[in-house]
Homo-oligomer: A and B are copies of this chain.
Amino acid sequence: MELKSMILGHFLVVSLALNAGLLYKDYSKGKHKSQHTFIFKNESLVTKMAFLETNKAPLTEVIDLDHGDPTMYEKYWQQLGDRTTVVIPGWKFISYFSDKRNLCWFLEPEFGDAIIRLHKLVGNAVTDDRYIVVGTGSTQLFQAVLYAVSSPNASEPINVVSAAPFYSVSLLELVSLLELLSSLELLCSYPLITDFLKSGLYKWAGDAHKLEKDNKPYIELVTSPNNPDGSSRQSVVNNKQGILIHDLAYYWPQYTSISSSPADHDIMLFTVSKTTGHAGTRLGWALVKDHEIAKKMTEFIVLSSIGVSKESQIRAAKILQVLSDSHENKDHFKESQPFFHHSYNLMAKRWKQLRGAVKTSKLFSLPEFPHGSCAFSGRNFASQPAFAWLKCEGEIEDCESFLRDHNILTRSGKHFGDSAKYVRISVLPRDELFDQFIDRLSALNST
């Protein structure tokens, strides 16, 4: 009953027509002090409010696709009702420890089991003879790897590289960017995360293609599929001195085809937020071959936060198990599709809409991806990434500004070491916002 009222509350959006424009007021913020009330907010509200303050009387609502908040997934989990509901009594999780016999002693065994089951179901990564290290999102895990593979006694910091285009914001840019409310993802740039503490252990050294061939140790980050351009990637330096970190956050069958042989790299990073959409849970995991690296990563996470929320782990364990159930026990899920089928179809639909709008408007273009056969689904399809790498064609030189003039907020290609003719657009907002975006983009040819 309480659950029902929460779900109803979720749809409480009150709209008021003000002046010539549309302005949403977020009443859910109000004075609901009940501990069970979930405060639901219109995704683009605050950005829009700020926008309205500085830009008088815009004619349309602002559509914020600048950050990759994966709210698209909300609807699926709502459809599943209370299958994924967790109940946690107050006396649980008092202790720091989850399993003292595990190298990563703060990993909840249930979460570890759910991760292994999911990888075996999808076939996207080898889990046998791997250590699982859990982190507060893959952001923390990336830093844990840097700490684990660098040497405290080295005379200079080890170089960290990645093949361009990668997501790049400098510390200098950060200062001004922080003024923006939409700075969330701007912060999550690997160069910035690497350098923000001015560590003497490691430093960002830019494009992997430009790394000097000097036989010094280095760390190469391989993000595949890549953010922002969705391309499949492999390491480019290929020197024996290199340590590879594979960020496989988007290597799931709703985004790209899964190869017939599971990924088998030394260090592989995954995150719940890109798998199931639960970004607020702040949970990632690393599959690590080497015992010493796994141990030092664990050490980093102890030093940085003495472990990881057990509540998040228990909840994610449940969600991942139900996800696997939705594929392996289809009979029990008659009311809804298996998770990856549903999310594949939704991504396919959105990319079709997007390509349609681009074709209609004639102002833009999108990258084409090679088709691949997916060993998980049996489908043959081209990647349908979580972000679209949109290019303004013709005379539009600053695509971000152009779209902003039409109240569409995106991220300029210049933050990725590429041309301002490109923007990155999130394909993961709620349906309503994405549909509005498609309508507006399609209409842009006539303006």
State whether the Cβ of A234 lies closer than 8 Å to any Cβ in chain B: no
Instruction: Give the most central of A100, A199, A295: most B CB within 10 Å.
Output: A100
Q: Cβ of A73 and Cβ of B99 under 8 Å apart?
A: no
Complex Cα distance A197/B195, Å? 11
State whether the Cβ of A126 lies closer than 8 Å to any Cβ in chain B: no
State whether the Cβ of A280 lies closer than 8 Å to any Cβ in chain B: yes
What string of 1s and 0s marks CB contacts (under 8 Å) between A87-104 and chain B?
111111111111111000
State whether the Cβ of A110 lies closer than 8 Å to any Cβ in chain B: yes
Residue of B nearest to A91 (CB): B77
Q: Cβ of B96 and Cβ of A187 under 8 Å apart?
A: no
Q: Of the listed stretches A220-228, A314-322, A346-354, A386-394, name the one at the interface; the rest are far from the partner chain.
A: A314-322
State whether the Cβ of A308 lies closer than 8 Å to any Cβ in chain B: yes
A6 and B187 contact, Cβ closer than 8 Å, known pairs A140-B304, A140-B305, A280-B96: no
* Residues of A within 8 A of B (CB-CB), count: 102
B-contacting residues, A123-151, CB 8 Å: 135-137, 139-140, 143, 147
Residue of B nearest to A3 (CB): B89
- Which residues of the other chain, B, contact A46 by a CB distance below 8 angstroms? 100-101
- Which residues of the other chain, B, contact A84 by a CB distance below 8 angstroms? 89-91
B-contacting residues, A59-108, CB 8 Å: 67, 69-71, 73-75, 77-78, 80, 82-101, 105
- Which residues of the other chain, B, contact A97 by a CB distance below 8 angstroms? 41, 69, 184, 280
Could you tell me the distance in whole angstroms from the C-beta of A228 to the nearest C-beta in chain B?
A: 17
Q: Cβ of A90 and Cβ of B96 under 8 Å apart?
A: no
Could you tell me the distance in whole angstroms from the C-beta of A274 to the nearest C-beta in chain B?
A: 12
- Which residues of the other chain, B, contact A201 by a CB distance below 8 angstroms? 197-198
Could you tell me the distance in whole angstroms from the C-beta of A313 to the nearest C-beta in chain B?
A: 9
Q: Cβ of A100 and Cβ of B281 under 8 Å apart?
A: no
State whether the Cβ of A193 lies closer than 8 Å to any Cβ in chain B: yes
State whether the Cβ of A277 lies closer than 8 Å to any Cβ in chain B: yes
State whether the Cβ of A396 lies closer than 8 Å to any Cβ in chain B: no
Complex Cα distance A90/B87, Å? 11
State whether the Cβ of A424 lies closer than 8 Å to any Cβ in chain B: no
Q: Of the listed stretches A31-39, A204-212, A360-368, A403-411, name the one at the interface; the rest are far from the partner chain.
A: A31-39
Could you tell me the distance in whole angstroms from the C-beta of A278 to the nearest C-beta in chain B?
A: 6
Choose one: B70, B143, B310, B312; the contact of A94 (CB below 8 Å).
B70
State whether the Cβ of A303 lies closer than 8 Å to any Cβ in chain B: yes
A282 and B303 contact, Cβ closer than 8 Å, known pairs A35-B317, A95-B71, A200-B199: no
Choose one: B38, B101, B315, B321; the contact of A311 (CB below 8 Å).
B315
A91 and B78 contact, Cβ closer than 8 Å, known pairs A39-B99, A46-B101, A311-B312: yes
Q: Cβ of B94 and Cβ of A303 under 8 Å apart?
A: no
State whether the Cβ of A17 lies closer than 8 Å to any Cβ in chain B: no
State whether the Cβ of A152 lies closer than 8 Å to any Cβ in chain B: yes
Could you tell me the distance in whole angstroms from the C-beta of A215 to the nearest C-beta in chain B?
A: 23
- Which residues of the other chain, B, contact A178 by a CB distance below 8 angstroms? 295, 299
Q: Cβ of B321 and Cβ of A147 under 8 Å apart?
A: no
- Which residues of the other chain, B, contact A164 by a CB distance below 8 angstroms? none
A143 and B71 contact, Cβ closer than 8 Å, known pairs A93-B281, A100-B41: no
- Which residues of the other chain, B, contact A139 by a CB distance below 8 angstroms? 303-306
State whether the Cβ of A121 lies closer than 8 Å to any Cβ in chain B: no
Choose one: B7, B198, B304, B309; the contact of A312 (CB below 8 Å).
B309
State whether the Cβ of A22 lies closer than 8 Å to any Cβ in chain B: no
Complex Cα distance A281/B137, Å? 15
Q: Cβ of A95 and Cβ of B171 under 8 Å apart?
A: no
Q: Cβ of A88 and Cβ of B315 under 8 Å apart?
A: yes
Q: Cβ of B303 and Cβ of A196 under 8 Å apart?
A: yes
Could you tell me the distance in whole angstroms from the C-beta of A421 to the nearest C-beta in chain B?
A: 28
Q: List 22 A-B contacts (CB under 8 A).
A: A37-B110, A67-B96, A70-B94, A71-B94, A74-B91, A80-B90, A80-B91, A84-B90, A85-B87, A92-B280, A94-B278, A94-B279, A95-B279, A98-B280, A137-B306, A140-B305, A197-B201, A198-B201, A200-B200, A280-B307, A283-B309, A308-B309
7 additional A-B pairs beyond A85-B88, A88-B88, beta carbons within 8 Å, are: A2-B87, A35-B110, A70-B94, A93-B280, A140-B305, A174-B299, A188-B302
| Closest 5 pairs between A and B when the two form their complex, measured CB to CB | A84-B90, A198-B200, A93-B280, A309-B309, A77-B91
